[in-house]
């Protein structure tokens, strides 16, 4: 049996993970609202659950990972109208950009990516069920709202009591509501809105509220009761709290056994957000840093901890990742496909770290301990083990030269062929004992970020700074 423990926000503690069905895991994660480029905070969230997905599979589970697409929402409608394009044109374009960004970062695609607009009938079915149970009511303005005070468990995820919740704090006050804490399940259509965001219902033309979308999509793909529900810490309240109220109110059983939330990305000790103007898109960061460096940077922090973004931290991540790849360089591991020897001591420590709520910082520390031994022995078996363990969390999946020579400073200035030519010229200069020219070539290469690795038998390799 797996020794995996996961921090459960609902229990406010680490708990032994036991799946509902032995050997199988259903995991639903709230995904992107696609109307703009993904930023590094989105990358952090998707990376966190990518690692969880990878480790569950490495632990032998048959995993069904669902990460939804929100393709109908106020911001999407506003942006499409501003751009003079259809909702579908806007969302399909930014979904493609998201897929390109996540692929670059080595984030595996989920097993299912339900789109909200494909599940409106299921949403209407849940809303009708809630109305029958006295948990939903239509208002005079045409909206259908959830009656929060009629659901006894409201607040159990966030730890907020109804008395603590004040109208106006992240809750839309609407005169059509019986209580300011109530939230909308179905929004009545406005004449100004495009026809493509209007669906027929027993309550009139309208569109779904944000919260009901995830209740419907998770139920349709994983069932009424599943193992893990995840998302960013900012979704704990009100979004996930409202999902619980909807799903458990409608179906009368727990929605998910484990609620998992990743921490925020911070810039200069402030939460990264568009409103503060301190956010960075994945695409912007990829212009300056290798994608695997970004992945390594994110994995150095525990998924529940704040992640402090800065160029200095990314530079440090690059230096650390370079150390891992340099250790592999020049060691013939014998085979391209490598598998982990889980009986080996480093692997056992790696497993213990990952079983402790996916503790990637400790797992990475194990890799560096392995590097220390590899640098001493240059043993192919240790190189294979290093590569295999790292690949479990999506690292070291290229050849050393592909990383060391493929990107970084000088990548646009000198091609590998040009560098090889300068190295040959330097070798010739050394043979002719023209050390001044040899030193000048080395200095010229260093000036554009090319570092030569000299050994007693000559210059055997190079890398970009």
Indicate the annotated binding residues for Zn(2+).
Answer: 30, 214, 239, 243
Helices (H) then strands (E): counts for the chain: 15, 15
DSSP state of 59: T
Name the token pair of 174.
Answer: 């609407």
For residues 20 and 257, the answer to whether their CB atoms sit within 8 Å is yes
Alpha-carbon distance of 47 to 254, in angstroms, equals 27
Name the token pair of 214.
Answer: 């995830």
Q: Give the E-state strand segments of 151-279 in sequence order.
A: 183-188, 206-208, 226-232, 256-262, 265-267, 270-271
DSSP, residue by residue, 81-101: HHHTS-HHHHHHHHHHHHHHH
DSSP state of 140: T
For residues 261 and 232, the answer to whether their CB atoms sit within 8 Å is yes
Binding site, annotated residues? 30, 214, 239, 243, 274
Cβ-count burial 235-254 (b if 16+ within 10 Å, e if not): bbbbbbbbbbbbbbbbbeee
Beta bridge partner(s), residue 39: 281
Q: Look at strands 24-33 and 226-232 and give their pairing.
A: parallel
Alpha-carbon distance of 114 to 218, in angstroms, equals 9
For residues 379 and 319, the answer to whether their CB atoms sit within 8 Å is no
Enumerate residues 6+ apart whose C-beta is below 8 A from 437. Answer: 426, 429
For residues 262 and 282, the answer to whether their CB atoms sit within 8 Å is no
Binding site, annotated residues for ATP? 274
Find the distance separating the first CA and the last CA of the chain, reported in whole Å.
45
For residues 289 and 313, the answer to whether their CB atoms sit within 8 Å is no
Enumerate residues 6+ apart whose C-beta is below 8 A from 28. Answer: 66, 67, 68, 214, 217, 218, 221, 222, 226, 228, 229, 230, 256
| Torsion angle in degrees (nearest 10) through CA of 278, 282, 287, 293 | 100
Name the token pair of 104.
Answer: 């670059």
Name the token pair of 130.
Answer: 């809630």
Residue 154: asked if its preceding bond is cis (omega within 30°), the reply is no
Residue 138's φ and ψ, nearest 5 degrees, are -80, 145
Alpha-carbon distance of 219 to 122, in angstroms, equals 9
């Amino acid at each position: 049996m797996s020794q995996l423990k996961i921090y459960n926000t609902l229990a406010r503690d680490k708990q032994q993970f036991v799946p509902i069905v032995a050997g199988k895991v259903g995991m639903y994660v709230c995904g992107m609202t696609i109307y703009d480029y993904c930023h590094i905070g989105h990358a952090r969230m998707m990376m966190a659950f990518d690692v969880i997905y990878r480790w569950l599979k490495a632990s032998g589970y048959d995993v069904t990972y669902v990460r939804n697409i929100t393709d109908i929402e106020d911001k999407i409608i506003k942006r499409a109208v501003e751009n003079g394009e259809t909702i579908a044109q806007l969302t399909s374009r930014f979904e493609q950009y998201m897929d390109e960004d996540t692929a670059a970062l080595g984030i595996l695609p989920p097993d299912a990516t339900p789109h909200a607009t494909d599940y409106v009938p299921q949403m209407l079915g849940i809303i009708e069920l809630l109305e029958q149970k006295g948990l939903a009511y239509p208002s005079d303005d045409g909206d259908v709202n959830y009656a929060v005070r009629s659901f006894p468990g409201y607040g159990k995820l966030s730890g907020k009591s109804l008395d603590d919740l004040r109208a106006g704090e992240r809750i839309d006050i609407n005169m059509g509501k019986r209580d300011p804490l109530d939230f909308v399940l179905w929004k009545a259509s406005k004449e100004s809105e495009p026809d493509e965001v209007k669906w027929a219902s027993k309550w009139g033309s309208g569109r779904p509220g944000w919260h009901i979308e995830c209740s419907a999509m998770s139920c349709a793909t994983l069932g009424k009761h599943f193992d893990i529900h995840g998302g960013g810490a900012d979704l704990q309240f009100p979004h996930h709290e409202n999902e619980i109220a909807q799903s458990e109110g409608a179906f009368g059983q727990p929605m998910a056994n484990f609620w998992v939330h990743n921490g925020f990305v911070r810039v200069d000790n402030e939460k990264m957000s568009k409103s503060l103007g301190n956010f960075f898109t994945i695409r912007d960061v990829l212009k300056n840093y290798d994608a695997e460096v970004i992945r390594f940077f994110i994995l150095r922090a525990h998924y529940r901890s704040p992640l402090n973004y800065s160029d200095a931290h990314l530079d440090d991540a690059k230096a650390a990742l370079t150390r891992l790849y340099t250790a592999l360089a020049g060691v013939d591991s014998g085979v391209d496909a490598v598998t982990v020897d889980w009986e080996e001591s480093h692997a056992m420590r790696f497993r213990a770290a990952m079983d402790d709520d996916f503790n990637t910082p400790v797992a990475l520390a194990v890799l560096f301990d392995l590097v220390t031994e590899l640098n001493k022995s240059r043993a192919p078996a240790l190189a294979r083990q290093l590569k295999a363990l790292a690949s479990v969390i999506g690292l070291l999946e290229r050849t050393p030269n592909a990383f060391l020579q493929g990107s970084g400073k000088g990548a646009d200035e000198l091609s590998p062929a040009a560098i090889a030519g300068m190295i040959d010229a330097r070798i010739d200069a050394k043979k002719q004992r023209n050390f001044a020219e040899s030193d000048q070539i080395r200095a010229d290469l260093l000036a554009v970020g090319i570092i030569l690795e000299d050994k007693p038998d000559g210059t055997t390799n190079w890398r970009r700074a």
